[in-house]
Amino acid sequence: MPTAIDVFAKVRGHERAEQLRAAREADLLPYFRRLEGPAGPVVEMEGAERIMLGSNNYLGLTADPRVQAAARDALDKYGTGLTGSRLLNGTLDLHLQLEAELAEWMGTEEAIVFSTGHQANVGTLGTILAPGDTVIVDSADHASILDGCLISKAKLRPFKHNRLDRLEKMLQRAVDDGGGVLVVVDGVFSMEGDIAPLERIVELCQAYGARLMVDEAHGAGVLGARGAGASELLGVEDQVDLRMGTFSKSLASCGGFIAGPHEVIDFLRISSRAFLFTASGVPAAVGAALAALRIIRSPEGPELLKRVLDNGEYLSQGLDALGFRVVRGEPAVTPIVPVLVEDDWKAVLLWRALYDAGVYVNVAIHPAVQPGGALLRTSVMATHDRAVLDRALEAFKDVKAKFEAEHGPLPEPAS
Please give the helix or strand (H or E) that residue 338 lies within, else none. Answer: strand 336-342
pLDDT band at 331 (very low <50, low <70, confident <90, very high): confident
Give the CA distances from residue 412 to residues 79, 287, 296, 342, 404, in Å, rounded to whole numbers and listed in that order.
Answer: 53, 46, 38, 11, 12
Other beta carbons within 10 angstroms of residue 370's beta carbon come to: 13
What percent of the chain lies above the pLDDT cut of 90? 88
pLDDT band at 132 (very low <50, low <70, confident <90, very high): very high
Looking at residue 43, its pLDDT comes to 98
Catalytic hit among 95, 155, 249, 400:
249
Looking at residue 291, its pLDDT comes to 98
Q: Are strands 110-114 and 211-215 parallel, antiparallel or unpaired?
A: unpaired
Say if residues 92 and 282 touch (Cβ distance below 8 Å).
no
Catalytic hit among 144, 152, 190, 280:
190
pLDDT of 330 higher than 80: no
CA 26, 365, 321 angle in degrees (round to 5)? 95
Q: In what order do the strands lie in the sheet with 325-326?
A: 42-45, 48-53, 359-364, 374-379, 336-342, 325-326
Catalytic hit among 161, 218, 384, 400:
218
CA-to-CA distance for 108 and 96, rounded, in angstroms?
15
Residue 367 vs residue 218, higher pLDDT: 218
The dihedral built from the CA positions of residue 224, 227, 231 and 237, taken in this order, carries a sign that is negative
Residue 71 half-sphere exposure toward CB, CA atoms < 13 A: 19
Say if residues 302 and 280 touch (Cβ distance below 8 Å).
no
Other beta carbons within 10 angstroms of residue 405's beta carbon come to: 8
pLDDT band at 75 (very low <50, low <70, confident <90, very high): very high
Say if residues 399 and 349 touch (Cβ distance below 8 Å).
no
pLDDT of 111 higher than 90: yes
DSSP symbol at 109: S
Instruction: Return the bridge partners of 131, or none.
Output: 133
Q: What is the pLDDT of residues 376-389, one digit of tens each?
A: 999 999 999 999 99
CA-to-CA distance for 356 and 350, rounded, in angstroms?
10
Looking at residue 401, its pLDDT comes to 96
- The span from the first CA to the last CA of the chain, in angstroms, equals 67
pLDDT of 164 higher than 90: yes
Looking at residue 301, its pLDDT comes to 98
Q: What is the pLDDT of residues 190-240, one digit of tens each?
A: 998 999 999 999 999 999 999 999 999 999 999 999 999 999 999 999 999
Q: What is the pLDDT of residues 237-259, one digit of tens each?
A: 999 999 999 999 999 999 999 99
Q: Which residues contact 25 (CB under 8 A, 6 or more apart)?
A: none
Q: Which residues contact 334 (CB under 8 A, 6 or more apart)?
A: 188, 193, 194, 195, 218, 219, 222, 223, 309, 312
Q: Which residues contact 218 (CB under 8 A, 6 or more apart)?
A: 56, 186, 187, 188, 189, 190, 249, 334, 335, 336
pLDDT of 103 higher than 90: yes
Looking at residue 15, its pLDDT comes to 73
pLDDT of 17 higher than 90: no
pLDDT band at 333 (very low <50, low <70, confident <90, very high): confident
Beta strand residue intervals within 247-322, DSSP E: 256-260
Looking at residue 252, its pLDDT comes to 98
Looking at residue 139, its pLDDT comes to 95
pTM recorded for the entire structure:
0.95
What size, in residues, is the chain?
Answer: 415
Looking at residue 16, its pLDDT comes to 76
Looking at residue 11, its pLDDT comes to 86
Say if residues 395 and 355 touch (Cβ distance below 8 Å).
no
Looking at residue 22, its pLDDT comes to 80
Q: Is 190 one of the catalytic residues?
A: yes
* Burial track 152-163 (b if 16+ CB lie within 10 A, e otherwise): bebbebbbebbe
CA-to-CA distance for 328 and 259, rounded, in angstroms?
29
pLDDT band at 102 (very low <50, low <70, confident <90, very high): very high
Residues 313-328: what's their mean pLDDT? 95
